[in-house]
Amino acid sequence: QSVLTQPPSASGTPGQRVTISCSGSSSNIGSNYVYWYQQLPGTAPKLLIYRNNQRPSGVPDRFSGSKSGTSASLAISGLRSEDEADYYCAAWDDSLRGVFGGGTKLTVL
Amino acid sequence: EVQLVESGGGLIQPGGSLRLSCAASGFTVSSNYMSWVRQAPGKGLEWVSVIYSGGSTYYADSVKGRFTISRDNSKNTLYLQMNSLRAEDTAVYYCARASPWGLPQDYWGQGTLVTVSS
């Protein structure tokens, strides 16, 4: 049981816009930054979004993050086949630990 | 070029100990925040621990009292000492440079597999 709640799966067709939600509480998302990671099969995770909505260099602007209250979202526009991966949200918790969501498997139909 | 290379994983019996290493190049471990994250087979990511540049350390409840994060500045290497290992500790362990908010960020290692089984 993960502290942050994500839908286990999401899907979309090429070119479509999809969003992945991440729900937490006042002690994590509600009071700290949200991070998003992409994990392609058989590889280490990759930072996609940091500090709620900031993109590291090299991450396409098709990826965007937002936060409102105790929830956050990752949006992917112009969906491409190479976006098929697992996506995880994470946040620091005021109990002095990091917490992850359970992950969302994105399928490009 | 920045690189993180983990080592030390393997098969260990329940109750045993193992030390994972994460050798860094291209940046200084002691000047950065460094973290460990693990992933059980077929499961999601789990945050394990972080060490701040000032030396403060934090742990997940699941490993507190059993795991110790540390670093060797002379070797530019991060460690995770794992004691009293349990079957549920079986996972791929990743080291990563962390943000000031304790979460892994831009640089990750390739991961090392720890299997706890008799």
Q: What is the pLDDT of residues B25-44, one digit of tens each?
A: 999 999 999 999 999 999 99
| pLDDT above 90 (res B73) | yes
In this predicted structure, what is the pLDDT of residue A84? 97
pLDDT digits (tens, 9 = 90+) for A20-39: 999 999 999 999 999 999 99
Those residues of chain A that have pLDDT short of 70 are none
Contact A100 B109 (CB under 8 A): no
Residue A12: name the closest of A79, A82, A63, A85 by CA: A79
Of B44, B102, B110, nearest to A98 by CB-CB distance is: B102
pLDDT at position A1: 84
Looking up tokens 């392609």 gives A40
Assigned token pair, A89: 């949200």
Q: Average per-residue pLDDT in chain B?
A: 97
- Helices and strands in chain B, H and E counts: 0, 11
**Residue B103 is nearest to which of A35, A44, A56, comparing CB atoms?**
A35
| pLDDT computed for residue B48 by the predictor | 98
pLDDT the model gives residue A62: 97
Q: B88 CA to chain A: closest CA distance, Å?
A: 14
What is the pLDDT, as a whole number, of residue B101?
Answer: 87
